[in-house]
A and B are shown apart, each in its own frame.
Chain A
């Protein structure tokens, strides 16, 4: 299957700082990528849909000014958690959709805000 990478795999930051997470589709182009958040023992919750060359579409309850998404190319989307706080600590997972509409997921990024 198609490969999606994320960087970093885990990050620890101080409260109030910003963290950027990258999501790349390695062997295919993705006009649409998705960002999910997953808390322990819970399901994946869609945060936003990232569209190449246009603004992201955020799910209800997700602050667009706090979770900045940029999809500058067909293989890269970034999620920046601005002014991170301990409650933002979570597992962030991206996915990229192929032309055939299959979604492939990245390995996830573990964020810990102290």
Chain B
């Protein structure tokens, strides 16, 4: 969604476990979704994307699931590693009335991997 908050939700997982990060979006017309990883003090890094004509896409250790019925997106990270610790943002691409398109970012989730 487009909401912005002062307190990032946090997900703590044990090293080696699977992580699931969730995101709700608001614009039913959005046709493209991306997950980004942002480490402290750095810019967002592209992880994986999915178009609205798909409901699942897999990458290396990551899977994105899209449920258009409930406007929900999730990122699954297999065998979570300490290097996965970061803030994860979902983003949806929308086409504003004035033309062009832009990304709208979700609030973000802080993933902490415990040893």
CB of A72 closer than 8 Å to a CB of B: no
> Is there an interface contact between B45 and A43, defined as CB atoms closer than 8 Å?
no
Could you tell me how many residues of chain B have their Cβ less than 8 Å away from some Cβ of chain A?
A: 27
Tell me which of A4, A45, A105 has the highest count of chain B C-beta atoms within 10 A of its own C-beta.
A105
Q: Which residues of B contact A34 (CB under 8 A)?
A: 102-103
Q: Which of B4, B34, B100 contacts A42 (CB 8 A)?
A: B4
A105 to B93, CA, bound (A): 15
> A105 to B43, Cβ gap below 8 A?
yes
Q: A41-B6, A49-B100 are in contact. Are A110 and B46 (CB under 8 A)?
A: no
Task: Classify the interface of chain B: helix, strand, loop or mixed.
Answer: loop
Would you list which residues of chain B between 87 and 115 have a CB under 8 Å from chain A? 89, 93, 98, 100-108
Contact string against B for A residues 81-114, beta-carbon threshold 8 Å, 1 for contact and 0 otherwise: 0000000000001010000011111111010000
Contact B41 A105 (CB under 8 A): no
On whether the beta carbons of A44 and B46 are closer than 8 Å, the reply is no
